[in-house]
Structure formats: C-alpha cells, structure tokens
Amino acid sequence: MKRTEFHTRENVKIRVWDKNGNPIKLFKRNELLHRLFGLNVGHFVNELSLANVVVNGGLVALGTAAFDSGDSTKFTYIAVGSGNTAAAATDTALETELTSNGMARAAGTYSQATTSVANDTKVISHTFTASGGSATIAETGVFSAASAGTMMNRFVLPSAITISDGSSIQIAHEFQVARS
C-alpha cells in the first residue's frame, strides 16, 4: 500500500546591522566546492538563507499539534547560542544558549508566507540587539517556551557571527509544509 506523505522544508534567514543601522555583509560559502575540494570560496550577501535540521522532538510535536485536539503547543520562541557542533536530529537543546548582552531567548514574531500554496510557509522571526558587550552567535533554534520547552529545530551557522555592542542580528526561521 502506497502511503501519502508530507514533509517540511525549513530555512533560516539571517541579516546583520551595525549600531548605525547599516547592513553588514555576510560571507556565503559555496557548499558544493567546499564539500568536493575543501575550498572556502563564496561571496558576500546581505542575507544568509540556509537549510536547518528539524530535530526528532520537533517532528513529534508537529504531529501532535496537527492531530491532538488537546494540544496547544506553539513554537514561538527563538534562541541563539555560541555552540558550533553540527546539528543532529537527536538534539534537544542548543549546545551553548546565550542568555546575556541582549541575546536571551525571546518571543518571535509570527507571520505566514507563500512558497508553493497560499500561506504554506510559517515564519518566526526576531531581531536581537547586543547590549552591554558583544556576542558571538553560531547556532539558533525555535522553542515552545521562554525557558526549557521543546526545541523544534537547530541551525549551526557555517561560521560564527560576532555582533558588536549596539549592533543587531535578525533571525527568521521558515517552515514550509508541502507534499513530498
């Protein structure tokens, strides 16, 4: 018997501004050349848009939220961290979540976008502003609570981004639900 399946397509978009509101260019590595030849070549962009990993707990929570009428779990919090170990499906938390200098977990802004079908992409975004010192960000994830909670996904940046005092970083997690 052939089963009908659906999948999610997830991306993280990152933009950085200095304390005067000027965009800071980010290096986007050519992943194919890096995998094949170990070359660290690419170009600078205003926004990074890269795929992330929906962890096992996130997959279970998606199914529960969709089919359990008693479930009211919402994934609305974004956290950033400095850990750089590769993301894995078995992750349950960020490696090293940041909690100071304006980088503490925060409620994100929810919106919808259209990728293939009207409103098929859910977006959670937040702009963090460094205060009281700089912060180095290497990972991010979406959670179901202001502390602890279930982690939906984890993304590790190709290279860490240091945000100086007064500068901002906008992180947008996009989740598209689609047919496989």
CB atoms within 10 A of CB 112: 10
Q: Is residue 38 part of a domain?
A: no
pLDDT of the residue at 136: 97
Kindly tell me if the per-residue pLDDT of 103 is higher than 90.
yes
Look up the domain containing 133 and give its range: 6-18+54-65+73-179
Q: What is the pLDDT of residues 130-139, one digit of tens each?
A: 999 999 999 9
Centroid of chain to Cα 65: 20
Which one has a higher pLDDT value, 162 or 180? 162
Q: Is residue 42 part of a domain?
A: no
Q: What angle do CA 105, 98, 48 make, to 5 degrees?
A: 80
Number of domains within the chain: 1
Q: What is the pLDDT of residues 17-60, one digit of tens each?
A: 999 999 999 998 888 888 899 888 999 999 988 888 888 888 88
Q: Where are the beta strands (DSSP E) in 5-150?
A: 6-17, 23-24, 26-29, 42-45, 48-51, 53-54, 77-81, 106-107, 109-113, 121-129, 135-143
For residue 104, name the pLDDT band (cuts at 50, 70, 90). very high
Average pLDDT over residues 57-73: 78
Q: Is residue 140 part of a domain?
A: yes
Q: Is residue 151 part of a domain?
A: yes
